[in-house]
Amino acid sequence: MQESRSRYSTVSIMLHWTIFVLIFANATFGGWMEDADGPAKLNYFQLHKSVGITVLVLSLFRLGWRITHPWPPFPDAMATWERVLARSTHILFYMLMIGVPLLGWAAASAGGAPEVPLYGAVPAPNLPLSENEDLSEALGGLHKAMVKAIYVVLGLHVLGALKHHFLDRDEVLSRMLPLFRRR
């Protein structure tokens, strides 16, 4: 199932939108976790960790898919600077989608967080790190900074897609939308 000349494959589209929804939801769960106390905090932690590791696994799968299924070509009229920015944004997204969950997991592990099962069922041990509060705080701070970087890169990504759709009137946005084919 190769990417077509003008459209991403169904697998690419489903991974794109599933990971987007999970990242958005997990940012929300992370905020709730920060504000919670007692058993509620542990429940939000379990949910946040579960979704984060799901994002990690799906992102690794998506990276593998991307390596074996190249992007559809850019529109012929697309400027070189736009091509460089688009590729750079996508590469940065992959780094963030893989790095953010790994850093969160590492921060929790170094902080001695309880080994909660994913979705209450799948074993998910802590990473093999010694408990070290300073390391945990440093990794946690980097995790939060990278989450903010996701917001910035996401903003660029959305603005670029909207520019292509409304100003350039090309197929860049429509080729990633499910159930929509530009005529």
Please state the φ and ψ torsions of residue 122, each to the nearest 5 degrees.
-95, 120
3-class secondary structure, 125: coil
Give pLDDT, residue 182.
Answer: 52
Mean pLDDT per 10-residue interval, the chain, length 183 residues: 73 97 97 95 96 98 95 92 95 98 98 94 95 98 98 96 95 88 54
**Residue whose entry in the numeric block shows the structure tokens 């969160």:** 104
Give pLDDT, residue 6.
Answer: 77
Domain spans of the chain, in order of start: 10-176
Query: Cβ of 62: how many Cβ atoms within 10 Å?
Result: 22
Rounded to two decimals, the pTM is: 0.93
Give pLDDT, residue 52.
Answer: 98
Give pLDDT, residue 1.
Answer: 54
